[in-house]
Chain A
Amino acid sequence: MNKVQEAIVRPSGWRGIVADWSGDQRAFKNVSWGKAMMWIFLLSDTFIFGLFLLSYMTVRMSTIVPWPNPSEVFALTIGDRKMPLILIAIMTFILISSSGTMAMAVNFGYRRDRVKTAVLMLLTAALGATFVGMQAFEWTKLIVEGVRPWGNPWGAPQFGSSFFLITGFHGTHVSIGVIFLAIIARKVLRGDFDRERRGFFTSRKGNYEIVEIMGLYWHFVDLVWVFIFALFYLW
């Protein structure tokens, strides 16, 4: 699917876009089906996360009870010092780092370097799993302190509802990403994409582009976290 014949020289810039869209066969030239599908899926998913965040902001305004202070709720006492948002800062650092390792995996994927690609993907998955693990720790801590979806000791019940809903939905995305990273890393390591081995379900030949498509998803999940971090924890 990525063996493309370049038949005509296309103009650049806006004229190029117009030419592509008025041409036949493909609107996005040189974009494979899989990559196009992932981009459009992410657009749809953006609407889901966007609407979750908008809804959270709406209930934060509609509730008449004071909103708990995030920098106190999300503080850890390490030694004698109470450090606000320390756990979230570490989690954010880990997730952003995993985007870096993912980008490197994509790079080595296109160089057809099986081992490095697989190792970097597994490292990304490990960082992602660490993130989910720390999220589990955060959830446990809050639950022990009495935070529930329907209420908490410090104020508006919508705090707990929005927290579990939004971080839970994002954590699910990360977990699904970790699972697929592991699956694809295994395929890379086994040499499926060098030997064009056919998929178990789809019976189609795979290729290294799937690493990049996986990367799109992973970067998206990281980007969403930045917004959750800003709008939920910092506000």
Chain B
Amino acid sequence: MVDGTLGAVGAVPPAEVEDMELYHPKSWVTRYVFCQDAKVISIQYSLTALSIGLVALVLSWLMRLQLGFPSVFSFIDANAYYQFITMHGMIMVIYLLTAILLGGFGNYLIPLMVGARDMVFPYVNMLSYWVYLLAVLVLVASFFVPGGATGAGWTLYPPQAILSGTPGRDWGIILMLASLIIFIVGFTMGGLNYVVTVLQARTRGMTLMRMPLTVWGIFTASVMALLAFPALFVGAVMMLFDRVLGTSFFMPALVEMGQQLQYGGGSPILFQHLFWFFGHPEVYIVALPAFGIVSDLISTHARRNIFGYRMMVWAIVAIGALSFVVWAHHMYVSGMNPYFGFFFATTTLIIAIPTAIKVYNWVLTLWLGDIHLTVPMLFALGFIVTFISGGLTGLFLGNAVVDVPLSDTMFVVAHFHMVMGVAPILVIFGAIYHWYPKVTGRMLNEALGQLHFWITFLGAYAIFFPMHYLGLVGVPRRYHELGEAAFNTPSVGTLNAFITIVALIVGAAQLVFLFNLAWSLVRGKEAGGNPWKATTLEWQTPETPPAHGNWGKELPVVYRWAYDYSVPGAEEDFVPQNQPVVARAGAREGAPA
């Protein structure tokens, strides 16, 4: 049991490092635009990610309109549909989820939660955002170039990604690959900062095993991203060469429209390996920060210490490590040696163990807890439910024999949307409701939040549960129109229309959220420094919102772990991490007099 007791107050070691030097902004531009403060960078990252996410949301509407009401909307032809699907996937996974969880929450929470004044290299951190913005702009530009955005599917599999039949083959694919390369450069600058800040810039008393799980999740995900993004970088560079210079890294000998192409001798499977060596860790790069954040939300709003903290940490690390040896389960139908399938199915199913440990621990944290059904808590509970639903179908798909018939059906779409779309997005919403008071000093509106939650949560199930059924009856993914196929029964058509209508409603509900963000900024209830009565350091700052440098003159000193909720004998039902431990008769721990 980690109770964070150090014995005596004087046991906190002295400072090893001089206090951080900060660049103090001299003008409006260096304070709000080219700003080196991680908190401002975080807001810039988050707003950019949410804006580009809105584009992806609209794209999903357009796709659903076509699927629900085929041939009604003449402007959505097959080419446009593939462009929407590709851009929706890429934006959501990389430019929204990765960027907001690591660049957004990472920048805001890491320095505050570990008790640092800022990231270790604020200038590099600032560059990270501007390079990310450039990547987003290049991506957006691909909508407007001749031929439009690429329609290769978000996995960009060659050879089709760069052949002339694919929409966006002229410029779209080039801009997409360029944007990915730029994104990776920008992320590396940020990721190095997050990792070094956690490892080397914690405050006195903050041991690794006292860090909130949020920091553990973001830290592990950043390490993984630094090791996984190189694969995407390498794949993107080589495909760019194939497209622009006519090399044949990924291109076999091909006949197109009766003409032998100049390509030959390359390996399309090589790209799939590179892509998924990045792509599978990417799933956990998105999931691990969500796991960490949801642990803190549950513990805080159930007023109970997290169950099995050490297990939670090791599960995060184990999932991170295992996720590098499962990538080929995305390639069961690619034509691999069957023994590979056996190996990757085994490793994939092993990941279920640490994941299940986490789910049990969340449930056991809630057990007998003093559950406050606040909006962040609702989203956290919604995450547990959706994550279990999506995770269980993962057990189906992880088995090579079960995957083969289900591969490339709507079942897969339903699975990954549930587990890495809906679940992390619910956590992101929960986290925004939770930390918005710290960022702005005002609470988000509760009633609007409840409305937002229930529509989003129930809507997600209404959208994705029927989609599993569609997959089981054989409806393929990535089809612009189902036509006269045997699986296209009347019930399939009705369900597709139903899903589309729900998707439009759920999408519109996000406007409520955006309205809430803007309205509460001015009209929200004053939050005070620690509205949720939370223990972690970010709620103990001298000012709210925290000033540049976070902590005033003295850095906080940490005496205990992050989960001292409802400690018997304590005066309040939470004990902040920076409250000294005082031995007192009759109580194991207590607040100082």
Contact = CB atoms under 8 A, between A and B. Distances in A.
B246 A62 contact: no
A8 B23 CA distance: 32
Interface in B16-63: 16-18, 21, 23
Interface string B197-222: 00111111111111000000000000
B121 interface: yes
A83 interface: no
A93 interface: no
A33 B121 contact: yes
B121 A62 contact: no
Interface stretch (A71-79, A200-208, A226-234): A200-208
Interface string B233-277: 110011001000111110000000000001011110010001001
Give the one of A4, A161, A165 with max B CB within 10 A: A161
Interface string A174-205: 00000000000000000000000000011111
Nearest to B205: A24
A12 interface: no
A27 to B, nearest CB: 4
A108 interface: no
B13 interface: yes
Contact of A22 (B191, B193, B209): B209
Contacts of A223: none
Give the one of B205, B209, B231 with max A CB within 10 A: B231
A21 B208 contact: yes
A55 B236 CA distance: 12
Nearest to B225: A44
A169 to B, nearest CB: 8
A193 to B, nearest CB: 15
B503 interface: no
A111 interface: no
A36 interface: yes
A41 B207 contact: no
A63 B265 contact: yes
A64 B253 CA distance: 10
B27 to A, nearest CB: 14
Contacts of B14: 5, 7
Nearest to B268: A62
A47 B231 contact: yes
A205 B200 contact: no
A31 B207 CA distance: 17
A44 B281 CA distance: 14
Contacts of A34: 121
A55 B238 CA distance: 9
A56 B6 CA distance: 54
B199 A26 contact: yes
Contacts of B207: 22-24
B195 interface: yes
A212 B246 CA distance: 41
B558 interface: yes
Given A8-B13, A25-B17, A55-B234, A157 B248 contact: yes
A55 B270 contact: yes
Given A44-B227, A205-B21, A29 B16 contact: yes
A112 to B, nearest CB: 19
A41 B120 CA distance: 14
Interface in A1-16: 1, 3-5, 7-8
A197 B113 CA distance: 32
Contacts of A55: 234, 238, 249, 270, 274
A27 B200 contact: yes
Nearest to A23: B207
Given A43-B227, A150-B245, A5 B16 contact: yes
Contact of A149 (B18, B241, B267): B241
Interface in A33-85: 33-34, 36-37, 40-41, 43-45, 47-48, 51-52, 55, 58-59, 62-65
B12 interface: yes
A149 B16 contact: no
Contacts of A99: none
A53 B238 CA distance: 12
A137 interface: no
B516 interface: no
A149 B247 contact: yes
A34 to B, nearest CB: 8
A7 B17 CA distance: 12
Contact of B120 (A29, A37, A48, A160): A37
Given A7-B16, A158-B249, 12 more contacts: A5-B15, A24-B204, A33-B121, A37-B196, A40-B192, A40-B226, A51-B230, A58-B267, A149-B241, A150-B248, A157-B247, A169-B237
Interface of A: 1, 3-5, 7-8, 21-29, 31-34, 36-37, 40-41, 43-45, 47-48, 51-52, 55, 58-59, 62-65, 149-150, 156-158, 160-161, 165, 169, 201-205
23 contacts: A7-B16, A23-B207, A24-B207, A25-B15, A28-B199, A28-B200, A40-B226, A44-B227, A47-B230, A51-B230, A55-B234, A58-B270, A63-B248, A65-B265, A150-B246, A150-B247, A156-B265, A157-B247, A161-B247, A165-B238, A203-B21, A204-B21, A205-B21
Interface of B: 12-18, 21, 23, 120-123, 188, 191-193, 195-196, 199-210, 226-227, 229-231, 233-234, 237-238, 241, 245-249, 262, 264-267, 270, 274, 277, 558
Pairs of residues from A and B, 10 with the lowest C-beta to C-beta distance, nearest first: A63-B265, A161-B247, A47-B230, A62-B267, A150-B246, A48-B230, A33-B120, A202-B123, A51-B234, A44-B226
